Amino acid sequence: MDETETITIVATETAQSKSLTRGGVPEAAIRQTVEKSLSVEALSASFNSFINGLRKVLNVEQATVGDLVLDEIVFSVEIGANGEFKLLGTGVSANANSSLTFTLRRKSKA
């Protein structure tokens, strides 16, 4: 029996509710908690795609400001219900209690 390794993701998804209206206008999207099992291979592929995109964004050879050199970049990420990695922007941290934090450091020149 070939069992695929999985990881369970608990996340929220947005669902539009047509039954909730205010003056005939649909209310804002409703967030609902979902639990999904994803294959390790699919999650790995999503992570690698996300990291490759970040590499392109952060393609900095020698970032300097005066005598200072960029040494470290810290960013937060969340994993969506379908295994997609999302960069968290400003002000989202209050809602994303279980976000991942990545720290990238410049390799030391030995």
Enumerate the domain spans of the chain. Answer: 6-105
Mind giving me the DSSP string for 48-108?
A: HHHHHHHHHHT--SS-EETTEE--EEEEEEEE-TTS-EEE--TT-TTT-TT-EEEEEEPPP
Residue 5 has pLDDT above 90, yes or no: yes
pTM, entire model: 0.67
Query: What is the pLDDT at residue 49?
Result: 95
In this structure, the number of other CB atoms found within 10 A of the CB of residue 60 comes to 10
Query: What is the pLDDT at residue 2?
Result: 55
On average, the pLDDT of the chain sits at 78
pLDDT digits (tens, 9 = 90+) for 13-53: 877 655 655 555 555 667 788 899 999 999 999 999 999 99
